[in-house]
Structure 1
Amino acid sequence: MEAALRTLYAALMVLSSVASVSGNLLLLLVLLLNKELQSDTLGLTLSFSLSDLALGLSTLPFGVHNTLSWPAGYPSEGGLCQGSAFLFLLLQTASIQSLTWATVDRFTEMCFALSYCSIWTKRRSRVVVVSVWLFCLVNASLPLLGFGSYVYNESRFLCCPDFSPDSQCFVVLWMVVSIVAPILTMCSLYGYIVYVARKQARRGTFMCNELHCFHVPANNYLRSSIVMVTTSGCLLVCWLPYISVCLYETFSGEPSPAVASALSTWLVLTSAALNPWITCMTQTVDSQHIMSKF
């Protein structure tokens, strides 16, 4: 990669790191200081927010340092490389898994409002958070145990999983179970919410409180649809190039173009900076305006 492109890549990584740290710190402060926003499932939001914050403090600065110090690299067998790759995979997987469960929580609140409190209790929420992190720990430990491997990737300027035919089984398992399945789940849930919102916009709804009933404008439902479509679009834009490049390298045995590899890695790391704002957008959607179809 040319010096100008490496400088641009480093600058983009710095911006993503700053945005990730500031955005997630702001989200954590708002959630922890505002008791009205705290619920039994607060741990799910804290889980992916802390994961994204840790990515912004560890992996992104590590990538910036490696980009600017090129061509110096790290021996793949070294403790620093293995540890940073383990942390990268752990936080990356924990972020997408926790975000998926937070989406399931939000979907349950919208679609099953009457039984939501009995479905998502504080105890069950804690069990989900602990299970997610245990799963991610096991997942990230597999290459250290010989199932797959961690290497220093010169085009990504990071220590990461080895995307070669030798690690094909691990890469496919990790991609399908830990990345692709959660993304498809989130997009499907958001798609269903958009379908319901459009349906409600066509027929209109009257909402009632203790004092009176009022008509919910169609714009409220359409606004909700825009938020959900934007959220799904951000997920796909950030993750699809990374998934495509990694699977191409794994099945073809050929390295992908350096620019494509670096850009896809930057996009997937940038998702850590976008997640706090996605959370803010989706929490502004009034579930009563969407799910009065019952």
Structure 2
Amino acid sequence: MHVSSVLYAVLLVTTCLASVSTNALLLVLFATHLKLRTETWALTLSLTICDMMLGLTIVPAGVYSSCGGGLFTEDTTACRLAAFLFVLLQLASLHSLTWMTIDKFTEICFPLHYAQLFTSHRTWLIIACVWVYCTVQASFPFMGLGYYAYNGNASLCMPSLGSSTKAYSLLLLILGMSTPLMTVCALYIAIVHVAKRQARRGTFMCNEQHCYYVPIRPYFRNTVLLVASAAYLLVCWTPYLTISFMDIFHDEDIPSLVEKISIWLVLLTSVLNPWLNSLGQKKYRTALQETWKKFKQICVHVEQNQLPLQRETHICLRSQLTLPGNTTQTTVHT
């Protein structure tokens, strides 16, 4: 096996483990902390499920194929279904992230109307529309518009993008991927602009007892997180989109290593999404700390319960040895 294939398989395995564990952790926080279930928490839930399913299905399939597995190395029905699932999960993840950003933008820039615009009912309706749209777009190759095939460089079954399927390729790349990415980046730029303007003048926060001045530092930290949230999307998606557009209009042979890196960067978003869009926020960090404290308390409680059992077992053994007929004889060697 070539060195690049081995390194690619190692990257996929690492991405798989990190994606599953991180998104599973976020699901645990949702299950144990009801305060995280806001009116729009379904958007985060949708993104988490998409990223976790990518780590459980698509990435292991890539590892299996890169190691010489035969199930996904041919244009079979299993390969087409795997490609359909790949496109469906990527589109659903990207569009769920887009609506999360729209929700965040509305909350910051239009706080007085936010409660009326984003309700729980409307959020679930948005999620339903996103999944229906992504399912329809991922089903186009089954309707004769485009087709799915095995990509030997990426060791994955993917949509075949090229001049022969120009209409489907442009529809997928522009409407399905580029437009949500540009929307997210534009909204983050607007949010950063609002945060910067607010930071220059500061603000006052009030509770039930008094009001206090909030300095510029918290806004600066939040701005850094927002910039990182937009930058990682561009870094992870730009190589794949660039290569795909080159395949459509130029039909040039892309080096295998470059294509593998571009696909891995796209899959890497399933690891970065929960950290930069959820776990980086203060309320999630607080919930994570509380969960860790509860876990340590449970471990200590289990250890304390095991000690009396060990003592009782030791006493029972000693009592059995002291019964008549169980006397021990000691032999002295001279």
TM surpasses 0.5: yes
CA drift at 1:69:
0.7
Q: Distance in 2 between matches of 1:199 and 1:281?
A: 26
CA distance in 1 between partners of 2:28 and 2:72 (Å): 37
1:112 and 2:92 matched:
no
Contact 1:97 1:182 in 2 (8 A): yes
In the other structure, the counterpart of 1:288 is none
Is the counterpart of residue 8 in structure 1 residue 13 in structure 2?
no
Q: Which residue is equivalent to 2:45? A: 46
CA distance in 2, matches of 1:185, 1:69: 39
User: Of the candidates 217, 220, 223, which is equivalent to residue 222 of structure 1?
Assistant: 220
Distance 1:243 1:25 in 2: 29
Counterpart of 2:139 in structure 1 is: 141
Unaligned runs of 5+ in 1: 286-294
What pairs up with 1:68-79 in 2 under 5 angstroms? Answer: 68-69=67-68, 74-76=73-75, 78-79=76-77
After the TM superposition, which residues 77-88 of structure 1 pair with which residues of structure 2 at under 5 Å, given as runs?
78-88=76-86
Is contact 2:72–2:79 with CA below 8 Å preserved after alignment? Answer: no
Does the 8 Å CA contact 1:208/1:214 hold for their aligned counterparts?
A: yes
| CA shift digits 1:167-191 (9 cap, x unpaired) | 1111111111111111111111111
CA deviation map 1:150-205 (0-9, x unaligned): 01011111110001211111111111111111111111111111111111222222
Q: d(CA) in 2 for partners of 1:182 and 1:72?
A: 33
Indicate yes or no: 2:76 matched with 1:55. Answer: no
- Counterpart residue type for residue 272 of structure 1: S
TM-score (norm 2): 0.82
Mapped contact 1:73–1:154 kept (Cα < 8 A): no
Q: Partner amino acid for 1:115?
A: H
Matches within 5 A, 1:1-294: 3-69=2-68, 74-76=73-75, 78-281=76-279, 283-284=281-282
Would the aligned equivalents of 1:148 and 1:161 in 2 still touch at CA under 8 Å? yes
Counterpart-to-counterpart distance in 1, 2:138 and 2:66:
24
2:197, 2:104 → 1: CA distance?
Answer: 19
Q: CA RMSD in A?
A: 1.7
What is the CA distance between 1:98 and its match in structure 2? 0.6
Aligned sequence identity (%)? 40
Question: What displacement does 1:207 show?
Answer: 2.3
SS of 1:58 mapped into structure 2: helix
Q: Which runs of 5+ in 2 are unaligned?
A: 284-334
Q: How far 1:32 moved relative to its partner?
A: 2.3
Cα shift readout 1:24-71 (whole Å, capped 9, x = no counterpart): 000111122211110121211111110111000001000001111179
CA apart distance, 1:250: 1.7
Residue 282 (structure 1) shift: 5.4
SS in structure 2 of the partner of residue 215 of structure 1: strand
Cα offset, 1:111, TM superposition: 1.7
Is the partner of 1:114 in helix, strand or coil?
A: coil
Residue 291 of structure 1: aligned partner: none
Using CA pairs below 8 Å that are at least 6 residues apart, which structure has the higher relative contact order? 1
Kindly indicate whether the alpha-carbon contact (under 8 Å) linking 1:228 and 1:282 is maintained by their aligned counterparts in 2: no
Per-residue CA shift, 1:234-263, capped at 9, x if unaligned?
Answer: 111111111111111121112311111100
Aligned CA distance change for structure 1 residues 159 and 192 (closer, same or farther; 3 Å): same
Task: Indicate conservation of the 8 Å contact 1:31/1:38, yes or no.
Answer: yes
